[in-house]
Chains A and B, each alone.
Chain A
Amino acid sequence: AQSVTQPDIHITVSEGASLELRCNYSYGATPYLFWYVQSPGQGLQLLLKYFSGDTLVQGIKGFEAEFKRSQSSFNLRKPSVHWSDAAEYFCAVGAVEYSGAGSYQLTFGKGTKLSVIP
């Protein structure tokens, strides 16, 4: 079964500083990888996704993530953090099950809460 680990529960950065949120996954095949962001009281918004191809993917709000197969990682980065980026960030791996009628599941990490100091 697939799993996702986000080692950092809470990260605090100053506004304007760079950011890297770590994500490690476990999955037997080529993974489909996602980063979602959740603002307080809100649903999850898709930031970016990796399905195949270029291992550096660009997302919305200036975020990017790099897929490193050798390290089973998909870390999220942003060169300069804005106060509005304060939120909780979730990494997820999508797994396709081809048995039976076929199905698809997202497995999420526990999330990393980002605080931004003005």
Chain B
Amino acid sequence: DSGVTQTPKHLITATGQRVTLRCSPRSGDLSVYWYQQSLDQGLQFLIQYYNGEERAKGNILERFSAQQFPDLHSELNLSSLELGDSALYFCASSVGTANYEQYFGPGTRLTVT
């Protein structure tokens, strides 16, 4: 158990819908990262937050957004969902903003039908 929690574990929704994925980092970690894992693209970095502020953006679509709240939990919002958005979404956390190993949550499996 990494100490990073993600809810829900599974999510099934229809195209065009909007969903919110939630992540709670390890105690004491200030950075939260979101990743998407799909069969064709592999593991891709989406976005990083540090202590409530956005720090880095990767291959995140405009339909996707995230935020980190004062209690340090984070939410990833996915809207206007398409079939291709079906994937495993991982949250990871680390102590600081750089040079630290990241600890991953168990992931949320999103299926868009």
Contact = CB atoms under 8 A, between A and B. Distances in A.
B55 A101 contact: yes
B34 to A, nearest CB: 12
Given A101-B53, A107-B45, A94 B97 contact: no
Interface string A3-17: 000000000000000
A63 interface: no
A45 B102 CA distance: 9
B43 A108 contact: yes
Interface string A100-118: 0111111111110000000
Of listed A34, A51, A96, A104, residue having the most chain B CB within 10 A: A104
Chain B interface main SS type: strand
Contact of B48 (A43, A90, A103, A110): A103
23 contacts: A32-B99, A34-B101, A43-B2, A43-B4, A43-B105, A44-B90, A44-B104, A46-B102, A46-B103, A96-B99, A101-B50, A101-B53, A101-B97, A102-B97, A102-B98, A103-B50, A103-B56, A104-B48, A104-B94, A104-B97, A104-B100, A106-B92, A106-B102
